A and B are shown apart, each in its own frame.
Chain A
Amino acid sequence: METTKPIYAKADPPEGYSAPGLFATTFDRVVGLARKNSIWPLPFATSCCGIEFMATMGAHYDLGRFGAERLSFSPRQADLLMVMGTIAKKMGPIVQQVYEQMAEPRWVIAVGACASSGGIFDTYSVLQGIDRVVPVDVYVPGCPPRPEQIIDGFMRVQDLVANESLRRRYSPEYRELLIKYGILKKD
């Protein structure tokens, strides 16, 4: 039996100064690199997009390769809130409650047409997009999106995570954003 050499794809290092045995870069780039490859998602799966997420977590598409192997159903231990499926008005306060329980830094991905904008359900009982209750970072369109699209959305979140400044969560703009959603009280 012949042994084949495994093929390692090289990832680009962040900007910095490299020398033999030494790599110097800024602190937030290192933290971003570490964070982006170990995101713990919270799968908030409500309907059909949830089944496509289960397929994404399965062996064929394998979201675990990107570091998201450990799903956390508790918001206290999660970094990324993946809202997949239709959110009805009855469910809206619950999404906000789950979002509030997450610790900073936290990101939100809206998977599917229903989470992004209400989808095909323009009715009295469906919330027309979760960005009415929580701030959203990435929208993944589709009904339901293919697992490749969900992975693409996840990789966009990874870009956001890698390039985020360490001071962002303390900035006044972020505070304004949370006050607008009613998550922080204006003081």
Chain B
Amino acid sequence: MDRINRKMEHSFITEKLRKQFGEDILDVDDNSDILSVTIASPVSYDVIAYLKENPGLGFNFLTDLCGIHYPDRGLSFGIVYHLHNFYENKRIRIKTFVSADNPAVRTVSDMFSAANWMERETYDFYGILFEGHPNLKRILNVEYLDYFPMRKEYPLEDPTREDKDDRYFGR
């Protein structure tokens, strides 16, 4: 539905990003539904600030922030940001990956207040730490939960239940 030539716009965005950040732009994927850019985790805050404040880009709305876990990769935890430019009606997906022994990125909640609870939810589910977050504690699960439930190694069902009869559960 865009009247602007989509391909040209995407290359415009990626060129500006590459000119500004050089090697920290690890991957650009133009084949899925929206432009996906994978960046290195130390510069994630700067990339998003650049996308928001640069007048040629102007991604002023944070649609979504979530985490993802790939246990068999080196950098196993990913954080995915979906940004939206209201004026030009453009969406972009920024992905950054961190390793399991130091899963930390800088928070974007000072730029986008919407990210406050979204980062808390990502911390609650995956244990990814957001440095500089004003109130990083569990939001959806109970406070005394001592593991991060969305990680792939934990099961869906409650492991402390004793009353399940294996005959009825197909085991």
Q: Do chains A and B touch in the complex (CB under 8 A)?
A: yes
Q: Which residues of B contact A (CB under 8 A)?
A: 140-142, 149, 154-159, 161
A-B complex: 5 closest residue pairs judged by Cβ atoms = A124-B158, A90-B142, A122-B157, A89-B142, A123-B156
Q: List 6 A-B contacts (CB under 8 A).
A: A89-B142, A90-B142, A124-B154, A124-B156, A125-B149, A128-B158
B142 proximity list for chain A (CB < 8 A): 89-90, 125
Query: From B160, which residue of chain A is reached at the shortest CB distance?
Result: A124
Residues of A near B155 (CB, < 8 A) are: 124
* Chain B residue nearest in CB terms to A122: B157
Chain A 36-72 near chain B by CB (<8 Å), digits 1 or 0: 0000000000000000000000000000000000000
Q: Is the interface of A mostly helix, strand, loop or mixed?
A: loop
B157–A123 contact, CB under 8 A? yes
- When C-beta atoms are compared, the residue in chain A nearest to B155 turns out to be A124
Contact check, A122 vs B141: say whether CB atoms are below 8 A apart.
no
Bound together, the chains give a CA A124 to CA B156 distance in angstroms of 6
B139 → chain A closest CB, angstroms = 11
Output the least CB separation between B117 and chain A (Å): 16
Mask, A63-90, CB within 8 Å of B = 1, is: 0000000000000000000000000011
Q: CA–CA, A125 to B156, complex, Å?
A: 9
CA A124 to CA B155, docked complex, whole Å: 8
Contact with B156, one of A89, A90, A122, A128 (Cβ below 8 angstroms): A122
Chain A: minimal CB distance from B27 (Å): 34
Q: How far is the CA of A90 from the CA of B161 in the complex (A)?
A: 16
